[in-house]
Amino acid sequence: MKLVTAIIKPHQLDEVKEALEAYGISGMTVSEASGYGRQRGHSEVYRGAEYTVDFVPKVRVEVLVDDIDATSVADVILKGAQTGRIGDGKIWTVPVEDVVRVRTGERGVDAL
């Protein structure tokens, strides 16, 4: 099993969610995050004082998938999240040792 994690622009979340549902992914975890990459931050002006805000609001999407789906799920997210402009984010995939469904106690692929 694999954990696919994507850091995306907040307003791309709907497109990513719809793309994942269309592919057949039945669940995901979403959390608010903030950070920066090559994009760096942005600037805001309050009463004439310019502030550089380093940490830009982002959304983290996490999806647990079977090994065989990992690459295509990353591609699905990529398609939903990509705008081609700076600050689109990152996607990475890591191996997962075990997964348990809390309600039933099912383990491994059955728990996905």
Least Å from the CB of residue 51 to another protein: 4
Q: Which of 24, 26, 38, 46 binds another protein (CB under 8 A)?
A: 46
Q: Which of 11, 26, 38, 45 binds another protein (CB under 8 A)?
A: 45
Closer by beta carbon to another protein, 47 or else 85? 47
Q: Residue 1 gets which letter from DSSP? A: -
Q: Which of 11, 26, 38, 48 binds another protein (CB under 8 A)?
A: 48
Residue 4 CB neighbours (<10 A)? 23
Residue 51 lies near another protein (rule: CB under 8 A): yes
Q: How far apart are CA 91 and CA 74, in angstroms?
A: 7
Q: Going edge to edge, which strands form the sheet with 2-8? A: 29-35, 56-65, 2-8, 89-95
Sites of contact with another protein (CB under 8 A): 31-32, 44-53
